[in-house]
């Protein structure tokens, strides 16, 4: 099952991955728009926590790009 998934992922282009990221971002905006509790939570969280999450999630991909 994982081998099949890896074969399919290798067929993705940079454009496909970018479109997937945009789709996820649009879905998150959709969810926080239609679910008031989610919007309240987003507004109540200190923005620096989102920045910290960004840095943590970006460490591995950026390090792969910069090291190789």
pTM: 0.72
Phi, psi values for residue 64, rounded to 5°:
-65, -40
Of 14, 36, 16, which Cα lies nearest the Cα of 24? 16
Instruction: List, for residues 29-51, the tens digit of each pLDDT value.
Output: 999 999 999 999 999 999 999 99
Give me the sign of the Cα torsion angle 14, 16, 22, 27.
negative
pLDDT score at 33: 94
The answer for residues whose C-beta is within 8 angstroms of residue 33's C-beta and 6 or more apart is 39
Question: What band does 5 get if pLDDT is binned at 50, 70 and 90?
Answer: confident
């Amino acid at each position: 099952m994982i081998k099949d998934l890896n074969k399919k992922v290798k067929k993705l282009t940079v454009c496909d991955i970018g479109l997937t990221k945009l789709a996820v971002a649009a879905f998150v905006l959709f969810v926080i728009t239609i679910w008031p509790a989610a919007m309240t939570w987003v507004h109540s969280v200190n923005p620096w926590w989102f920045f910290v999450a960004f840095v943590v999630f970006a460490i591995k991909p950026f390090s792969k790009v910069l090291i190789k």
